[in-house]
């Protein structure tokens, strides 16, 4: 089978479960990974025959994709902030919206003067994408990252090592009241915790529901802010007086999260993401001058 014939078959097949443009992008990504041919080479090499071994790899990948498995899991990696990161079904696939959260931290003007050597904690690190991106953006940052999942931490550590990012990883349950945490006095605490309610599952694509780790996505309808409440309890004893919190949020609960922050004596700014949704919040202690 030629490259063009195989590619056309891929796109036609995937178009039954994805929009055509997305089906094309997924197909290009798989072909670049499996036969080392990017889209600019297709006009030149489209009539080349695909070796049997490569054809079998393409066929197996298509079988998994047609079952709804995300291409990132099929290939075993994703991209975040220009970094190639390993992913598995033990971690969420890094999202572009989360890149915006990292950008917000790096561009925060109030941190500029004291940015060198910032102590940063990333709670619920998953693949380690936030922690690694921040550490590589400024190697002077002292970064600690936590997750409850041992499997997720294994992936995060591999990614950090591969990227050359020196990060302290700790297995830690933010919902536990007995933290016994070995670090304190953080200048920045950042988190992209689970925030999708169980009742929102019906609106989600099956490739998320069937393959991404539910414990990293969902919260109960009766307590949708459970992780934010725990994070704020933790912050009481682990954030410096002038420190900042950066959180990714469910836009449905932006106002409720702001109220939680006010109760903890924080003032906050809510920011929209690229899709015009209130997706991020930054908060600082209200400081009373004498």
State the Cα–Cα distance between residues 88 and 152, nearest whole angstrom. Answer: 9
pLDDT in tens, 154-179: 999 999 999 999 999 999 999 987 76
Q: What is the reported pLDDT for 1?
A: 87
Q: What is the dihedral of CA 145, 149, 154, 158, to 10 degrees?
A: -50
Which residues make Cβ contacts (< 8 Å) with residue 130, sequence separation at least 6? Answer: 98, 101, 102, 122, 145, 190, 192
Q: Does domain 89-285 have CATH number 3.40.50.1820?
A: no
Residue 43 has a pLDDT of 81
Q: How far apart are CA 238 and CA 123, in angstroms?
A: 12
Q: What residue ranges of the chain have pLDDT lower than 70?
A: 109, 111-114, 179, 287-290
CA nearest neighbour of 129 among 177, 78, 57, 66: 78
DSSP single-letter state for residue 134: H
- Per 3-state DSSP, the chain is made up of helix, strand and coil in percentages (nearest 5) of 45, 20, 35
List Cα–Cα distances, 50 to 7, 45, 71, 192, 231, in angstroms.
11, 10, 21, 42, 52
* pTM, rounded to two decimals: 0.94
> What are the extents of the domains in the chain?
3-67, 89-285
pLDDT of residue 254: 96
> What pLDDT, on the 0 to 100 scale, is given for residue 40?
87
């Amino acid at each position: 089978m030629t490259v063009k014939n195989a590619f056309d078959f891929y796109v036609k097949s995937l178009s039954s479960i994805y929009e055509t443009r997305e089906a094309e992008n997924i197909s290009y990504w798989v072909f670049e990974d499996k036969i080392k041919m990017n889209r600019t080479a297709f006009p030149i090499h489209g009539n080349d025959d695909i070796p049997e071994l490569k054809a079998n790899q393409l066929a197996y990948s298509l079988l998994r994709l047609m079952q709804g498995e995300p291409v990132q899991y099929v290939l075993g990696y994703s991209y975040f902030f220009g970094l190639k990161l390993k992913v598995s079904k033990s971690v969420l696939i890094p999202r572009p919206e989360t890149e915006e959260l990292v950008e917000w931290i790096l561009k925060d003007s109030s941190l500029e003067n004291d940015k060198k050597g910032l102590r940063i904690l990333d709670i619920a690190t998953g693949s380690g994408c936030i922690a690694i991106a921040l550490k590589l953006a400024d190697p002077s940052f002292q970064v600690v990252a936590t997750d409850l999942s041992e499997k997720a931490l294994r992936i995060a550590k591999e990614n950090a090592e591969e990227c050359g990012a020196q990060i302290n990883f700790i297995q830690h349950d933010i919902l536990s009241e007995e933290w016994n945490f070995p670090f304190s006095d953080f200048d920045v605490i950042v988190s992209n915790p689970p925030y999708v309610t169980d009742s929102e599952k019906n609106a989600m694509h099956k490739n998320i529901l069937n393959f991404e780790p539910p414990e990293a996505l969902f919260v109960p309808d009766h307590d949708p802010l459970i992780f934010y409440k725990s994070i704020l309890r933790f912050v009481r004893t682990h954030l410096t007086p002038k420190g900042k919190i950066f959180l990714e949020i469910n836009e449905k609960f932006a106002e409720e999260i702001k109220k939680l922050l006010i109760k903890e004596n924080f003032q906050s700014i809510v920011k929209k993401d690229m899709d015009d949704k209130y997706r991020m919040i930054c908060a600082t202690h209200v400081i009373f001058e004498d």
